[in-house]
Amino acid sequence: MERRKFLTEMGQVTAAACSIGFLASCSKSGDTSTTNPGTGGNTKLTANLSTELTSVGSSKINGNVIVVRTATGNTASSFSALSLVCTHQQCTVAYDASDNDFKCPCHGSEYSISGAVTQGPATVALTKYTVSINDNTLTVS
């Protein structure tokens, strides 16, 4: 098996395992997620800020979307929402909380917490998403 294929598959397995763990730990009996009417039906992720993303550096993943708390306070500017798809060759990047950045296991590209490329070969930033907060509900669209 080629190194790239192996690393890509391992990254996907890791991302899937993390997603399942996050989703399972966040589900509640009677919890009904609805699309935020202000987002035009493009909601990619929601979080209850009373119980989720409570500390700086904490994150939540849904599919290929991640939101990371970057500062205290429940304002949109306290969060960064990005795609987990590397812009170089579409591998799945991983959030490294200890370095507060994203790393691609396929070719070594690195991205800042805002999604900007800090190390190539990627030349294009990660896709950013809009964060909005209504009461204690964070929505990424």
Convert the pLDDT of each residue in 1-23 to its tens digit.
566 665 566 555 555 444 444 33
Q: Give residue 103's domain range.
A: 3-140
Whether residue 115 contacts residue 125, with contact meaning beta carbons closer than 8 Å, is answered with: yes
Extract the tokens encoding 59. Answer: 């994150």
Give me the CATH number covering residue 78: 2.102.10.10
User: Rounded to two decimals, what is the model's pTM?
Assistant: 0.68
Q: What is the pLDDT of residue 34?
A: 34
Grouping H, G, I as helix, E, B as strand and the rest as coil, residue 20 is helix
* Statement: residue 70 has pLDDT above 70: yes
How many domains would you assign to the chain? 1
Q: What is the pLDDT of residue 58?
A: 92
